Amino acid sequence: MAGGGFVSEGGNGGRDYEGGVTVFVVITCMVAAMGGLLFGYDLGISGGVTSMDEFLSKFFPQLERQRVKAKHETAYCKFDDQKLQLFTSSLYLAALVASFVASVVTRKYGRKVSMFTGGLAFLTSGKITFQMMQLLVDMMKTKPIRFKWNGSVIYVDQL
């Protein structure tokens, strides 16, 4: 159970720091909290994807066959497959490698440069993802659809 405590000011046991809680410190804490939230969300998504039938049939067909043969399944452990577990834990491994890289960058250039570079990388990847989605939507808008209702539905916009 979490607990708290009080520390008295002045005294021989502590240090006197000149810094205080500034706007930069508050924003940095908020960004770090959001990073943890997004990382947890990503882990939940990757864990959920591994239970989708389409994903299993495409990337792990042996598990799909095993699931069909199983008479009952539990919510806790559906599959006992090391490759699937490695896929699910790959985000943990990526975070471990990224933390080692970030520690070297922070030690060499400082926290501000490290945080700025990480934020810039996050914004850049978001912008690239957005632009790729826009490109995909534009491609889908201009490509005619060939269904059995030829002539009734011409573009994806009409769906």
What tens digit of pLDDT does each residue of 102-117 get?
Answer: 899 899 999 888 888 8
Residue 146 sits at φ, ψ, to 5 deg, of -110, 90
Contacts of 46 (CB under 8 A, 6+ apart): 87, 88, 90, 91
Inter-residue contact 145 to 153 (CB < 8 Å): yes
In tens, the pLDDT along 39-78 reads: 777 777 777 787 787 888 888 888 777 777 766 666 666 6
Q: What per-residue confidence (pLDDT) applies to 144? A: 57
Q: Are 154 and 145 in contact (CB under 8 A)?
A: yes
Are 118 and 102 spatial neighbours (Cβ–Cβ below 8 Å)?
Answer: yes
